[in-house]
Amino acid sequence: MLERFQYSLNVSHRQEPANPLACLPFSESFDTIRDNCCLFSPLSCIMRTLFWTCTLALFFAPFVPAQIFAPFVPDQNYEQLRKIIDDNMPAIKLDELGRQPPTPENVRASKAVFEAATQIYALPNLSAEDHQRILQREAFALMVLAYADTPTYYPKLTLISDELDKRGLPKIAKATERHVLEIGGDLATRTGNKNANLNVASLAERMVMYAEQHPGQESTQVIDHFLQRIRKMPNAQRDRRLAVAAPIFQEYFKKINFAPKADALNPDILRSTLPGKDMILMGVDIDGKELDWYALKGKVVLVQFWGVWCANCIAEMPDLIDLYEKYHHAGFEIIGVNTGVQGDDVKKVKQFVDTKTFDGKKIPWTILHEGLGQSKNNTTMTKIYGIDELPVLILVGKNGKVLNLHPLPAMLDELVGNATSIFADLSEEDKKIIEEAKKKQLEALDEQFEKDISK
């Protein structure tokens, strides 16, 4: 009896552990379930599972990407998506594309059509007829979007242009391809553009293919427009592109017997492809003496096309004079070619050369004048090489071949120094022998140095 009484006393004074659910709503319900259910009853297991699931979810919520908690949007059916496309198509305007940026409303509608079309392609059992119909509308949307966000949508426009042609939609394929070429030409001629993915040669070949598939004035205008954009670029960037594109276009114009267009590209090709080729310079200097170009073989020659009126030409004169004085003794010459335009007659040029000084120094090299050269040879160097923007610098090596077209002023000293070096006359094999001898000599000096230190 005493033991039973002590047991009942202990039970009555026993402190229950704190209920972790007491602070939660319906905590009394949890207590009732705990007291009246077996530890392993189904209801108890369910409640425990719910409790720990909620606890862990709340704990890990800050570490889970927000996309997981995004509301679920059910897929729309074909009719709903088709309605989105039909509702937005009237707002898509193609009239001003390429002349001015698309309006925000135009872009918004185009995005809605493009996204709806993308979802439709994922629907099962899409008929070929429906696919073709949606593809047409997607093409219109992408034309707008490619101008609004070129990096994102231009590759997609290029792909859909090829697909339209394969699916027997020639009219829309032609319109789409025209915009592909226009945007591609814009990308290829942006000053300072370092887009390595855009290949000028492949773009030019695509333009030729377009012209062959759709012969006529409109097709040649695509090529002309691209060439006009290139010619407006700074000299060095312009000629890098013309060296690749101009021969491709000339071959096409010859193929269709369009001689004027083909011949018009001759100066561009001759000038832009000069590096590594022989250059011939003819003319008469301001004193009336004819230039003997071949007498300069064996010397490094910098040809400068310039004008008295050209501020950039005058600005580079002091550096050229310093360069001339530094390397003239090593066989370096400069030949100036005054283009004879903008009022630069012989008298004016001669007066400028005789009186103008730069830090107390006059121009010491030969100056040719295109007016005199034209009267004697019925041609000019500016016409032969297509010089239409000044200044132009062309560096010619000792062998008469062009070393560099449009060299940067900062690089001229190094370029001329290397070209006038005695090593410039050696063959590649001789250069390797000399370099090997230098290497052995340095190794011998290092070995001797080590021996001296050890002593």
The H helix count followed by the E strand count for the chain is 20, 6
Cα 358 to chain center, whole Å? Answer: 40
Q: Are residues 309 and 421 in the same domain?
A: yes
Contact assessment for residue 158 and residue 177, using Cβ atoms and an 8 Å cutoff: no
Asked whether residue 376 is assigned to any structural domain, the reply reads yes
Question: What confidence tier does 452 reach under pLDDT thresholds 50, 70, 90?
Answer: low
In angstroms, the CA 120 to CA 123 distance is: 5
pTM, two decimals, is 0.68
Asked whether residue 61 is assigned to any structural domain, the reply reads no
- What pLDDT sits at residue 97? 81
Question: Percent of the chain at pLDDT above 70?
Answer: 75
- What pLDDT sits at residue 253? 95
* DSSP code string of 181-236: HHHHHHHHTSTT---TT--HHHHHHHHHHHHHHS-SHHHHHHHHHHHHHHHTS-HH
Pair of tokens at residue 25: 């709503």
Q: How many domains does the chain have?
A: 2
Looking at mean pLDDT, say which of 179-193, 253-267, 406-420 comes out highest: 253-267
Domain boundary (144, 169, 188) is at: 188
Q: What is the pLDDT of residues 363-372, one digit of tens each?
A: 999 999 988 7
For residue 293, give the CATH number of its domain. Answer: 3.40.30.10
- What pLDDT sits at residue 9? 44
Q: Which long-range contacts (CB under 8 A, 24 or more apart) does 228-231 make?
A: 229/185, 229/186, 229/188, 229/189, 230/188, 230/189, 231/268, 231/388
Q: Is the pLDDT of residue 31 over 80?
A: no
Q: Is the pLDDT of residue 75 over 80?
A: no
Looking at mean pLDDT, say which of 57-61, 64-68, 148-152, 425-429 comes out highest: 148-152
Q: Are residues 179 and 291 in the same domain?
A: no
The CA distances from residue 215 to 162, 178, 207, 253, 257, in Å, are: 18, 13, 11, 12, 13
Asked if the peptide bond before residue 391 counts as cis, ω within 30 degrees of 0, the response is: yes
Q: Is 84 helix (H, G, I), strand (E, B) or coil?
A: helix
- What pLDDT sits at residue 450? 63
Asked whether residue 166 is assigned to any structural domain, the reply reads yes
Looking at mean pLDDT, say which of 68-77, 161-170, 432-441 comes out highest: 161-170
Domain boundary (159, 188, 217) is at: 188
Asked whether residue 222 is assigned to any structural domain, the reply reads no
Asked whether residue 40 is assigned to any structural domain, the reply reads no
Asked whether residue 25 is assigned to any structural domain, the reply reads no
Q: What's the whole-number mean pLDDT along residues 260-286?
A: 91
Query: In sequence order, which residues have a C-beta less than 8 Å from that of residue 403 and are 6 or more positions away?
Result: 275, 300, 395, 396, 397, 415, 419
- What pLDDT sits at residue 126? 84
User: How many Cβ atoms are within 10 Å of 352's Cβ, its own excluded?
Assistant: 17
Give me the domain span that covers residue 147. Answer: 78-188
Q: What's the whole-number mean pLDDT along residues 55-77?
A: 50
- What pLDDT sits at residue 199? 81
Candidate from 172-186, 193-207, 270-284 with smallest mean pLDDT: 193-207
- First-to-last CA distance in the chain? 108
Q: In what order do the strands lie in the sheet with 402-405?
A: 284-285, 366-369, 332-338, 300-306, 392-396, 402-405
Q: Are residues 182 and 289 in the same domain?
A: no
Q: Is the pLDDT of residue 99 over 60?
A: yes
Q: What's the whole-number mean pLDDT along residues 403-424?
A: 82
The overall average pLDDT reported for the chain is: 81
Question: What confidence tier does 432 reach under pLDDT thresholds 50, 70, 90?
Answer: low
Q: Are residues 292 and 415 in the same domain?
A: yes
Asked whether residue 273 is assigned to any structural domain, the reply reads no
Asked whether residue 225 is assigned to any structural domain, the reply reads no
In angstroms, the CA 359 to CA 407 distance is: 24
Ramachandran angles phi, psi of 302, nearest 5°: -105, 115
Q: What's the whole-number mean pLDDT along residues 306-312?
A: 93
Q: Tokens 């009942």 appear where?
A: 8
Beta-bridge mates of residue 401: 278
Q: Are residues 295 and 416 in the same domain?
A: yes
Residue type, 188: A
Domain boundary (134, 166, 188) is at: 188
H or E segment to which residue 104 belongs: helix 104-121
Q: Are residues 289 and 420 in the same domain?
A: yes
Q: Is the pLDDT of residue 65 over 50?
A: no
Candidate from 7-16, 102-111, 334-343 with smallest mean pLDDT: 7-16
Which ranges constitute the DSSP H helices of 256-316?
259-264, 266-272, 311-315
Question: What confidence tier does 332 reach under pLDDT thresholds 50, 70, 90?
Answer: very high
